[in-house]
């Protein structure tokens, strides 16, 4: 299995609009972060996209991706879904609706906000195209087969809402979480690679801080943990130097092989 980090930034992205801080002006490409999303390629050669961030077109082009077998949504916030129109190129190429999965609230939001994608009555004019998608609601803690791979949805708190992380084989992918409840930790037990969001060194009301992510990684006990959803609070190189062994900051385009 292979994991590619398509985007590793927060809802602002890095550099932020109008910001002149040293990180936003950094020449290190690892400090340039688009909104968070990821691609999982299974041992059977299937591709599962996690979220559709606003820069999705650019992310998929950079990763040389021309087909997707399924999309997993973590939640309905704009930085995780507002690139959904870019799947049009994928559904047109495959000539079929793209299977999409997520929590009930996210499915409802997608159906309402992007009705033209999911409402069969809304057909494009002759000579034009539109994205084609088919939504399925997932339940936390209930495994489901997606693109031939068992996927476990894991509920984690994010402010006043619950969002989904996912366990896919030996991979645990968690973003926008404030903490991991006991059920989430149990669901991640035994993963070899863990992905966690980490916003600032200081505490934040809806996201893990870097110290909280470090402690959470220790509790889960994965061989390798990658931090994502990162802000302009740290240079990549400086953050990497501060983290304990087994923890590293992810960056856009990073590919990780998972046995």
The CATH code of the domain that includes 140 is 3.60.15.10
Please tell me the total count of domains within the chain.
1
Phi-psi region of 247 (alpha: psi -120 to 50; beta: other; left: phi over 0): beta
CB 28 within 8 A of CB 235: yes
Q: For residue 246, what are its two tokens?
A: 């087994």
Residue 95 neighbours by CB distance under 10 Å: 7
CB 134 within 8 A of CB 99: yes
pLDDT (tens, 9 = 90+) of the chain, 259 residues, equals 999 999 999 999 999 999 999 999 999 999 999 999 999 999 999 999 999 999 999 999 999 999 999 999 999 999 999 999 999 999 999 888 999 999 999 999 999 999 999 998 899 889 999 999 999 999 999 999 999 999 999 999 999 999 999 999 999 999 999 999 999 999 999 999 999 999 999 999 999 999 999 999 999 999 999 999 999 999 999 999 999 999 999 999 999 999 8
Its pTM stands at 0.97
Is residue 20, in this structure, part of any structural domain at all? Answer: no
Residue 101's domain comprises 2-14+33-257
Name which of 73, 65, 10, 75 is nearest 41 in CA terms: 65
Is residue 28, in this structure, part of any structural domain at all? Answer: no
């Amino acid at each position: 299995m292979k994991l590619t980090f398509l985007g590793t930034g927060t809802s602002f992205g890095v550099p932020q609009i109008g910001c002149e801080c040293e990180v936003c002006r950094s020449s290190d490409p690892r400090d340039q972060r688009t909104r968070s999303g990821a691609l999982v390629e299974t041992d059977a050669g299937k591709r599962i996209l996690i979220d559709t961030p606003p820069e999705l077109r650019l992310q998929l082009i950079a990763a040389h991706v021309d087909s997707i077998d399924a999309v997993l949504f973590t939640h309905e916030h704009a930085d995780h879904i507002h690139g959904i129109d870019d799947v049009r190129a994928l559904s047109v190429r495959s000539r079929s609706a793209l299977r999409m999965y997520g929590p009930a609230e996210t499915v409802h939001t997608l159906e309402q906000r992007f009705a033209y994608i999911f409402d069969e009555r809304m057909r494009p004019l002759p000579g034009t195209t539109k994205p084609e998608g088919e939504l399925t609601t997932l339940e936390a803690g209930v495994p489901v087969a997606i693109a031939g791979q068992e996927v476990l949805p894991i509920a984690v708190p994010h402010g006043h809402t619950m969002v989904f992380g996912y366990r896919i084989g030996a991979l645990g992918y968690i973003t926008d979480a404030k903490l991991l409840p006991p059920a989430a930790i149990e669901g991640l037990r035994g993963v070899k690679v863990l992905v966690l969001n980490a916003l600032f060194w200081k505490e934040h009301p809806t996201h893990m801080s870097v110290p909280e992510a470090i402690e959470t990684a220790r509790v889960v006990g994965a061989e390798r943990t990658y931090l994502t959803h990162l802000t302009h609070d740290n240079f990549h190189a400086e953050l990497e130097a501060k983290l304990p062994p087994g923890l590293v900051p992810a960056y856009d385009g990073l590919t990780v092989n998972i046995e």
